[in-house]
Structure 1
């Protein structure tokens, strides 16, 4: 397949099947305002991301939700699955390729759990964005409303003839002995705002040389966060690093490379250095105004719905004397306050669960040592001003400077300067930080809230907030979303005139504050909220009740997990154990295998979190196929899914397997341990792994009972289930791989993926045969594949006799609640009926009817 229809044209194929959505309609300003680049979006109905072009994988995000492919011509294509999916930290995403790999059109790149992403992320909308916009003179999107992955052209590009030149790391000495780097294109979607500026300034401070950033003739002190932000560097801007001093060459090179890499931010791939180009400045958002006197409009900062009463928040006044004592005494007061403020921010960071959001306060800490701020304050102190007066003048001056910038994002960072400035000022003045004393059901109104204010809100009383200042990209908005607080920024000034106690409805998603709603409106909203929350609350309240059918049959509901945090969460949600620990999380994304001690600790910690009464099933290392290990070289395989993977790889690397088995066995005293082996196809493999377990148990002196089970992923194993059941204690059916191998359909194939359905009658019959074979010898059967969490499939699995459902952690309460509504006898009748059907469509239709009933 040829990507380029002519020398200057590049066709990009649909990476997913689904509905075509204009990039401007994506509910995320970073994409909608094309801060990353121009492109197009797809609302997907498939879950395998395919390569839209041929090229090299130049960036694969550590969370595996985003990938960048670069063509031989240097065009960079960023594909970003969903919105806010970085927050999932890789959960539900599986990379099919590695960074540096050469890929072809239609080649699988990433597989994702669409149901999980839909539940946890803001949206499934998947963006395909060109990050090297200077190479494109025209974008032509498809006119089709829906596209098929790997088949339909989604976007065509007319390319510019110019070739990018330069290198971010190249530096050239100047005649005056100063060093200046080549031009670097800033890849950060929102430019050099507080966090990347802090990273950049922090590195700059490690060098002795004087360092400047140069943009369009303007210069900024590279060691000053405030100065960098004041330069108003935006995405796509061309900047230089200028250095003068003993380590100028090294410093200019290091800073240029840091800028090109995103200054600590993930920017969807590194933009090369190029000649300077003009990028229009972001326009200030026009004020929103409603024509309805009972509706005030603003910008959606955080989605959600809240019904409450207005509470106006007024900023405290901090008085300071202008005249100071001796300069050395005032300087000491400032130093003490700066150090105490740093410690306060460190404590505040610990209260924010998301490390990315906690990074906001890391940037605040960096401001405390900003040389430009400190120079201003110190100079004023030297002129006889008090520490408080000097500090207030310094941070107010810089905040005002930022607030006047045309770039709305950078202007919004003035609030960060004021936040950290007032924190230090309170400490100098000896004023304790005031906590909001708010009534119940409060909707806060303020001219602005600081990140510190937002992080400290009492969620038991504050239902939402509105601010006159700020916007969707402000740090306050970011924190509100992470804390799940509905919020509106940039609301009409009239909000400040609302009386305390005024009843309102805050619709965060719409950026709308409705005043004095009628009792009927309030009732309708509350009813919507109740219906939304009622079922989940009921399921959660009953989460610790056993999953027992109406006719008294118990079904064990356990969790599929990938680490300690998920294990702990599963217990809180009523999980009866772990049905699948994907142990490969310990082995992937590192340069060497985990040590025995490291494995020992994590397995034991997970077992302890479960307790002795819960099942703990550990699947041994399952790599190979789509999950290679960089430190375990393997020969290239034409079809790795039919090659050395799972138990085959572990038996070929006995030291790897023995080490893991020993580490797993040491957790036997803390939970009901079971060890499960993947990709089993023969009795010889079963007998060999049993021998290894027995051998290591004897060496370690482990006397606790440890069950040995196998994954049923291959049709041969399902067909021979009765024979395998004589040798093992249990089966766990991996329906995803079983479907793939049964139907001879690669789950990532662009044309066949949609037909690789676990509800295929052939797959269902193999599941039924597995259960029958296991029960013949009194062995139990679990299902750990995707259909175990599928409400339509649960009655069918129970009807076929499945004893255990191993589901995604968030699904535990819902699956247990569903089981309690079912009759085993009715489920058996359903299974008998379905197993006589011949098509997936018939099966799906019947199960939908069952669910509706």
Structure 2
């Protein structure tokens, strides 16, 4: 019998593996072994061997002995979420090591305060090679004391005859936020070992033994990666049928839909979504403002009929694939014709939505899921339905509202292809005159084809203000409410209602007086809008000659093209996230450059373009940039912190911005800056890339949206050319209230005197050093806030595009000295309600 001794890789007291506070290790799902509570900060080799796996996060390494025993050392618990912070690898895969060689240095203080535990596990992942484990106890010294003695078993190889068939799964998209790290890999390997079949997991052209934790981790399978399972043996069918749904559901990993993992593995339940606000008035239903405007009409319910499909194919897999390809191509032709029509109507923004639909039809993951189902004898209709609903359901479950809203787009384009495959008649529900449409969900196709002569507005129980349906409604000037209370679906057709898209409400059974008042308001607003548009291109100058710059907040090229026509003097905030969302990989430098260049050219040489660098985080993650679940994502990795932590992404964006500066008045702005060191690091990165490109400097600013930045405004002003105050986040951080909270949201008001004081403080600090200040948050578009901001000394208002003409018109009717007096008085008040009452006399009617 062969024996192997493992020497302590760290100094510290030994802990039985059964006492580790993690069921995956304690239940020996990774393998048998021992744990150490470390007293030093360098992990050393426990034996002679070869490095066969080093985790990308740097927290785990595997050494294979000459006898083929695989020894995994895992520093801490839940340390994969640190993404490498605090770990420095001293070796790489393939290196030969001797007992006592340094493998990983780690910052024990950092890891201890950012992870669940520092306990370090030493386990044999191919425990079937070991006949007996003899763990030691007590305190040990690294490189000297033995911690584990192994007695090897005889070599055992199970023959698999050539006559046994191989079974393959469909394509599986990994839902685990941090991929298949040690815990889910152990769950998979432990379950796979219950089958006699040889089971492999494949990613791209690489495959690994699904019964080996180390082998699985060596594939570096990340969130959203596509994998397949293959099994060969007598119980291959059962293995694939059992393991495939578990992989789909995340193998019990936190942050995924709970999988039926072994009972000993605790699975954290998903947090229940916050309840939506409900009205106490039986004649008033509440929702989310999706598209502003008032509409009077009668309810017309829209219902989408479920298209029935047969699961079993009538033809062979190739014939079914040909049918699917033909239907997809026909859908592309339809979408191309729709885009051409919209471009002819000078509706480039609406056309862009259907261009995105066209791209969805070429999504390789979507098609691979469909093709793998076709190969298993499923019909084209069934395979396609399964592919697009699987993807749509995953998107809809995301916390990021923008990404979740795209699920509806996928269902829309999915139904288009499904209709072509089945030959079903396209749904035609003709609404009557003065219709207020009510539906669980409308698709972009529904919205784009609405008859504006009949439809006055719509509301849906699903969706939000960022959905493509809401975007289309705003571009079509159709009042809309999303997320309306579900009882709206029970309203009979013909019920008289008043829809308020600005407030997000649906008023039932209005009186004739209510209706008359609304119609009078609509007529007055139409006349005022016409007058405002007639002078939209004139500057915004107060009655006593004080000028403000009024610019727009945009999220892409289509909106940039609208800015000049609305009288906008530039763009005060380009949300660059639109380039990074709804895709599986980050945009490259050239793609970003071409987009920024096109936007700069659309604005012209004299209108400034301020590009905010990527602003994402734990509360709005990207598929290809997984961020571990945080206890409070609003206080975690967000904004500039993400860029500094992933400098390769920020550097590419900065290079694209610098290149685009040759085509317009381009400026760069960093979001969520709280520390001077963060800003200086970002500026240093910008300067390095500028010098590499050999281009001139560009104006640089920050968003003041963290209270610390406002309080330290004098120090920050020395480092930048301008400030732009993001009042939305500044308000919720200052008041410690989530603006999306169902109960607290009404109290999150940017006119709270505390916020006004921070704005005043910021403006003074900037002006003292000759720097200008803009406001790009929601209150810049609020008529009641405009005179206050003028009085506080703000130089620029960056507003939502539709409000540009009205905000400019309002400014032309104000006196600077009156605004200053109003602002001084507002700073002495106690509540936002008092401030709003004080401003009501100067706000627009």
TM-score, normalised with respect to structure 2: 0.47
